[in-house]
Structure 1
Amino acid sequence: MDKVKPKKHLGQHFLTDLGIAEKIAKALTGHRGVNQVLEIGPGMGVLTDYLLKGTWDLYLVDIDAESIAYLHQKYPALSEKIIEADFLNHDFGKIIEGNYAIAGNFPYNISSQIFFKVLQDRNKVMEVVCMLQKEVAERLASPKGNKTYGILSVMLQAFYDIEYLFTVPPGVFNPPPKVNSGVIRLTRNEVDKLNCDEKLFFRVIKQGFSTRRKTLRNALKSMGLSEELKNDPVFDERAEQLGVEEFINLTNKIQESWNK
């Protein structure tokens, strides 16, 4: 089998360190009894080899036709579970019945979009173990009050517990990226539905962080806040100072003021 060449336009950096691949595979816990795993961007199967050593019911998805051909040759037993598709535009609910976990070395250029898709599918995706740019990994796991804490941090932490596991240096990839990578684990929490209007919750977060240096009073000005509401002390804060519960409370306050 000829080796697959990493493609720059797909953001491919193939992991070459087997020890790190094994650590990533072992970080999957099977949260909530899940045994189905979808690996995103398996490339030449370095992580796949270790996932197959577990008892997982494994599915592979890759957008790269060359990788797909290689994977079919390497893993003939997986055949129908090797899917040539763009993860971002594919409905895996039609392929994988029930809940599942996600694993992978995510392409840097679409990692945030992958997590927005995970949020959409949060009632099926019970766990995610992945490697991505260290800066992004730290941001997702960051607590409130931290400069790296942002929109995706709050949105994901509303539904997942997030742990930063370990850092990976550039030299273990082909080609080496210009930055360090980080491995994180997301495990689905017990929240089925937020105690507020979820659409408004997401809107408040996005608007609040759109000008993160401003107080919420200024950042949320376009949301038509009443004068009475503007005097609430929460509007003296900046978005990065609020955790999930505080954003839920803020969303409810805005909703109530509109309904008056």
Structure 2
Amino acid sequence: MYTLKKSLGQHFLKDENICRKIVDSLPVIPNQQVLEVGPGAGAITKYLLELPDTSFKAVELDTEKVEYLQKTYPAIQGKLINESFLDVKPPFEGKFNVIGNFPYNISTQIMFRVLEWKDQVPCVVGMFQKEVAQRIAAKHGNKDYGILSVLIQAYYKVEYLFEVSETCFNPPPKVKSAVIRLHRLEEAYDIPNERKFFNLVKTAFGQRRKQLRNPLKPLFDKEVLQDSFFTKRAEELTVADFVALSHKMI
């Protein structure tokens, strides 16, 4: 069979109803391309391989799991990439959707990787540790609202779909899980400089309890900083507010 590797954050989904529910959350589009991240022992892979009119690939770092998947699911031959998702290049030309029971120890890094590929990735369906899912989906004014919330919501609409009990996994994780779905925004925000925008958001939340005037002092002219807007705290600003601020940066 296979072994579970704690170093890779492996907790395998065993509830078939949940497996199907995750796959059913992915839009079914003719001739679509789908990438699964971390298929593990194939809990949702077997259902993804059954999707009609779909070009499928999966990225799996664990060589033992790659060998197991190839023996167990003959249809996956030639569709596995034995690398870390954080190192792999986009596996398709054109647009492709991303899905997975994401390894919790790198789930935030996975999302930042998706942001790098955002022009090619219109939809993401992923299972995360519940707290991370809540952070991604959080709205302004919420204690969970932060860097991850703003940067992802600047490009994607986030839907918090459903939660998954610890008992659905082997071994049961010590945290609760949740599945969310991201859809690229139909009307993109006007972000003049992505590097500056990312720096603005990260700097603002670096001292989230302080008024924005303090952490953002190096990024704006003195005259701009006099605006009463800068008496707010980072979590009070909407994504649109951050975008508007980015237009006034030095």
Question: Relative to total residues, which structure has the larger helix share, 1 or 2?
Answer: 1
Q: Contact between 1:159 and 1:191, CA under 8 Å: does it hold in 2?
A: no
Partner Cα separation in structure 1 for residue 151 and residue 28 of structure 2? 23
Q: Contact between 2:189 and 2:240, CA under 8 Å: does it hold in 1?
A: no
Report the Cα offset of residue 30 of structure 1: 4.1
Find the counterpart in structure 2 of residue 65 from structure 1: 63
Q: Secondary structure, in 3 states, of the residue corresponding to 2:142?
A: coil
Find the counterpart in structure 1 of residue 235 from structure 2: 240
Matching residue within 119, 130, 144 for 2:126: 130
Q: Secondary structure, in 3 states, of the residue corresponding to 1:206?
A: helix
Report the Cα offset of residue 35 of structure 1: 1.2
Q: Unmatched 5+ residue regions in structure 2?
A: none
Partner Cα separation in structure 2 for residue 30 and residue 115 of structure 1? 22
Find the counterpart in structure 1 of residue 103 from structure 2: 107
Matching residue within 211, 214, 224 for 2:207: 211
Matching residue within 224, 231, 251 for 2:246: 251
**Which AA in structure 2 matches 1:107?**
P
Find the counterpart in structure 2 of residue 157 from structure 1: 153
Q: Secondary structure, in 3 states, of the residue corresponding to 1:182?
A: strand
Q: Secondary structure, in 3 states, of the residue corresponding to 1:196?
A: coil
Find the counterpart in structure 2 of residue 47 from structure 1: 44
Q: Secondary structure, in 3 states, of the residue corresponding to 1:187?
A: strand
Report the Cα offset of residue 192 of structure 1: 5.3
**Which AA in structure 2 matches 1:67?**
K
Aligned residues: 249
Report the Cα offset of residue 34 of structure 1: 6.5
Q: Secondary structure, in 3 states, of the residue corresponding to 1:12?
A: coil
Matching residue within 179, 195, 200 for 1:199: 195
- After the TM superposition, which parts of structure 1 deviate over 6 Å for at least 4 consecutive aligned residues? none
Q: Contact between 1:159 and 1:190, CA under 8 Å: does it hold in 2?
A: no
Alignment CA distance shift 1:154-1:78 (3 Å):
same
Q: Secondary structure, in 3 states, of the residue corresponding to 1:249?
A: helix
Q: TM-score, normalised by structure 1?
A: 0.92
Correspondence list, 1:19-98, <5 A:
19-30=17-28, 35-55=32-52, 56-92=54-90, 95-98=91-94
**Which AA in structure 2 matches 1:160?**
Y
- Structure 1 vs Structure 2: percent identity of aligned residues? 47
1:188 and 2:188 correspond: no
Structure 1, residues 156-188: CA drift from partner, whole Å, max 9, x if none? 111111000001111111111111000000011
**Which AA in structure 1 matches 2:86?**
L
Q: Unmatched 5+ residue regions in structure 1?
A: none
Partner Cα separation in structure 1 for residue 141 and residue 119 of structure 2? 28
Partner Cα separation in structure 2 for residue 81 and residue 228 of structure 1? 56
Report the Cα offset of residue 201 of structure 1: 0.7
Q: Secondary structure, in 3 states, of the residue corresponding to 1:60?
A: strand
**Which AA in structure 2 matches 1:49?**
K
1:172 and 2:168 correspond: yes
Partner Cα separation in structure 2 for residue 123 and residue 34 of structure 1? 18
Backbone CA RMSD of aligned residues: 1.5
Report the Cα offset of residue 76 of structure 1: 2.2
Alignment CA distance shift 1:196-1:30 (3 Å):
farther
